[in-house]
Structure 1
């Protein structure tokens, strides 16, 4: 291949390149440029070939450029020009724009030339600035680090959180902010992240701490987001100081512990008080019965009325004490086991056979699950709900009760629907409070503990119970039991 042919081949390759290329000799004169360079700088070839390269440089660079060019030709190698510095070029219309320049030495018969590959990075600069502004305006600390763990960028919140100035952090390893023994393991964790980079929280299931400049440690949460910039991998770490949250969690934990202790004391008191009250009440009831049996003929009508009042009051008090005692006992001696809810409901319906028969109630039970639960308590739960649906029935229609369940997220939702008298909306929360009654004793018997029992039973399963109802249109009781 002759020299002319080689020159033509080189020219064709330069012209076909999809980036701006400018060929410069050791004197700093432009020997050739391709059409992309013409479009980039707004010159045509004839205006630039033979001209000094400084025509394409902003005024502030021109005085230093000859020395830089001389240094390069002393040791011409392929490299990036002006690494770690912002470089700018100048268009024909005197508009400056940011560039990246790659230098490649070309050996020819006329000597060594340098082929400069020039990339306009205006849009990249804009994107970088937008990214910087977003990071800077973030409400929490943000740290951008490269694959080696070197900090590239931080925002103001990082300075505030860790107590360092920005210049003290940029260029340092992120291990500077990692406390204790974790510091030595952090590079391995970083390598593991880069092996499979994806947005995720850091240290799931572990308490994380950051190390401030003054040596104090702070509890933190970290979110990791992989980024690719200039064909290099980075990670953007979002860091939240959770000191106040930790304090609140500890305060809640201690408060909950105290409440649990108080509840335990209250339940114990209720149990003891109920137990101790039963004996004197039994004695009063027995004594009243004995007096009425032996001395009823000696009493006038007023005395008999008073004795009857005392007997009924004592009997009601016994029922209240029994209800309180039963309430305190719920869950005391029970353990979770696998419970077939179909069998439980069948047993309850059988136990209530006489009540069902006398009321003409229709009970439709759909397939129910078999799950971990407290068997005795579940029996009491359905007994209360079904007997209430029958008791609080409408006078002009027979009771209809539907029982079903559906699988929901993390558990089962049960439904007991009736066509009874319903419950006013403003009283639907009140019915689950112990000893709360919505009707007079003469209308419906009871002491107001059944639904309170139901709520406690559901809560023993870490679930919840609620009702939807309209007067004269019936009620639908829902309760949720999570899977154990």
Structure 2
């Protein structure tokens, strides 16, 4: 097959047509005589339409072809580039080494990026330098081998990378970025401070350098698993993580992982926090909590034993005093009657205090196992125990539908007994006592409220009223030991719930508490109970 050029318009300088036309002259046309006109046209269109700058050079480094994007990038018209050395586009400081790189490429022809691992720069006509990324492709013909270079201006990418580096450098935590092989490619000053390495000592090293030796094998497995499921997440949840400093010292860390995706590769950036102080604080808190638990247990044991053992000698004192009062009332002088009255009153109050303290210390000590408990039945038990005071006060008790809960029945009855007893005790003098018991479901718990129309409580005392032995009124106005609401709080918390109050002085009080719902989610029918 012979090649016959056809008549066509004058070729544009620097285009494929120039390359073909120039090779028409003498032997240089030979490599292209085998190209069909269709192949030639396709090649011309592909190069010209490429989104990147395209420059083709021969083995001597002379430019034989450029496209429009190359004109825009370098600022030259193509007729100034064609026929000149490709070194013209290389900064002067780098030109000396460029021929050697070109010869190395011809020694191992293959399509590949140029200058991997090095910063590449190109020189514009106006003398400014621009960072570039270059892909080289050999083009083999009968005439020889040409090199087609695709050149990308990465100025904007470099700007973003620099901004990224600045953000990483300014981070308050140690930041380490690794590639898909686990090699460190970026660290910040906090990393140097935390691990004791200079950053040049870390670049290119495995991330396992910063992991204690006993964890390195497992870390490699975890790292590989994360690379197959890239998404932001904390590392090692539920496990204790440790870092290793250059001096070999280990320290506890908390790590957050974030993938960084680029067009060529995925990276992982790790934010690392030294939590040594937090761990020490946690250990101290655990120690203090354990000490407090032991102290509370000892205190509960003491209260139980003391209140139990005090009952007998107190009865030995209170009994004879009451006999003295009944037998000799009015037979001695008025001063003696007053002394005996004070002694009997003190002994009686002491007995009540010891009984309440014993009840308080028994909560949580009975060993009873929570069971499905009908709150309605527990309320009935409480009302039965309060029947006398309810009758005397004319109290009206209403209730909504009450649920089944997992609880200890006797303690729930005691809880209702104390709350309703308080409602009766702290009643308004000019109105009948009304108490309303209601339950509502919230998630896995029931919220039960006991609302009265009594004297109310000022908000500043809401926390104080649940403390043991705390009283807001004198014994003359409202008798009691100040243990009732503390006992209620203890019962509710022993059942894993919480208790709180809403009230205004003169407008009654509502006490709320929560209990876990039972396995049978049901509530009995609603009914009322009058006192």
Q: Same fold (TM over 0.5)?
A: yes
Separation (CA, whole Å) in 2 of partners of 1:252 and 1:329: 27
Query: 1:63 maps to what in 2?
Result: 96
Does the Cα contact within 8 Å between 1:435 and 1:448 map onto a contact in 2?
yes
From the superposition, tell whether residues 431 and 75 of structure 1 become closer, same or farther in structure 2 (CA, over 3 Å): closer
Does the Cα contact within 8 Å between 1:81 and 1:102 map onto a contact in 2?
yes
- Match of residue 222, structure 1, among 233, 255, 259: 255
Query: 2:407 maps to what in 1?
Result: 373
1:8-19 pair list within 5 angstroms? 8-19=41-52
Which consecutive segments of 4 or more residues in structure 1 shift more than 6 A? none
Query: 2:176 maps to what in 1?
Result: 143
1:236-251 pair list within 5 angstroms? 236-251=269-284
From the superposition, tell whether residues 310 and 75 of structure 1 become closer, same or farther in structure 2 (CA, over 3 Å): closer
2:394 is aligned with 1:394 = no
Does the Cα contact within 8 Å between 1:331 and 1:377 map onto a contact in 2?
no
SS of the aligned residue for 1:83 comes to: coil
Does the Cα contact within 8 Å between 1:145 and 1:152 map onto a contact in 2?
yes
2:58 is aligned with 1:25 = yes
Does the Cα contact within 8 Å between 2:406 and 2:515 map onto a contact in 1?
no
Separation (CA, whole Å) in 2 of partners of 1:97 and 1:406: 71
Cα deviations by residue, 1:70-118 (Å, 9 ceiling, x for unpaired): 3322332211101100111122332222111000011234321111111
From the superposition, tell whether residues 237 and 398 of structure 1 become closer, same or farther in structure 2 (CA, over 3 Å): same
1:119-198 pair list within 5 angstroms? 119-198=152-231
Residue 351 of structure 1, CA deviation: 4.2
Query: 2:11 maps to what in 1?
Result: none
More displaced stretch, 147-156 vs 330-339: 330-339
Separation (CA, whole Å) in 2 of partners of 1:194 and 1:373: 49
From the superposition, tell whether residues 341 and 36 of structure 1 become closer, same or farther in structure 2 (CA, over 3 Å): farther
Cα deviations by residue, 1:275-316 (Å, 9 ceiling, x for unpaired): 222222212221122223333353233322321221112111
Two-structure CA RMSD over aligned residues (Å): 2.4
In our comparison, the structure showing a higher alpha carbon Rg is: 2
Query: 2:3 maps to what in 1?
Result: none
From the superposition, tell whether residues 215 and 32 of structure 1 become closer, same or farther in structure 2 (CA, over 3 Å): same
More displaced stretch, 240-249 vs 441-450: 441-450
2:444 is aligned with 1:444 = no
From the superposition, tell whether residues 463 and 185 of structure 1 become closer, same or farther in structure 2 (CA, over 3 Å): same
Query: 1:269 maps to what in 2?
Result: 302
Separation (CA, whole Å) in 1 of partners of 2:442 and 2:274: 35
More displaced stretch, 63-72 vs 450-459: 63-72
Cα deviations by residue, 1:144-172 (Å, 9 ceiling, x for unpaired): 11122111111222222222221222211
Does the Cα contact within 8 Å between 1:338 and 1:371 map onto a contact in 2?
yes
Q: When the two structures are superposed, what TM-score results if normalisation uses the length of structure 2? A: 0.85
Residue 10 of structure 1, CA deviation: 0.7
Residue 445 of structure 1, CA deviation: 2.8
Residue 357 of structure 1, CA deviation: 4.8
Q: When the two structures are superposed, what TM-score results if normalisation uses the length of structure 1? A: 0.93
Tell me, which stretches of 5 or more residues in structure 2 are unaligned? 1-33, 519-531
SS of the aligned residue for 1:181 comes to: helix
Separation (CA, whole Å) in 2 of partners of 1:87 and 1:16: 24
1:65-144 pair list within 5 angstroms? 65-144=98-177
Separation (CA, whole Å) in 2 of partners of 1:298 and 1:288: 15
Query: 1:471 maps to what in 2?
Result: 505
Does the Cα contact within 8 Å between 2:405 and 2:515 map onto a contact in 1?
no
Does the Cα contact within 8 Å between 1:208 and 1:219 map onto a contact in 2?
yes
From the superposition, tell whether residues 95 and 316 of structure 1 become closer, same or farther in structure 2 (CA, over 3 Å): same
Tell me, which stretches of 5 or more residues in structure 1 are unaligned? none
SS of the aligned residue for 1:471 comes to: coil
- Match of residue 325, structure 1, among 358, 361, 366: 358
Query: 1:258 maps to what in 2?
Result: 291
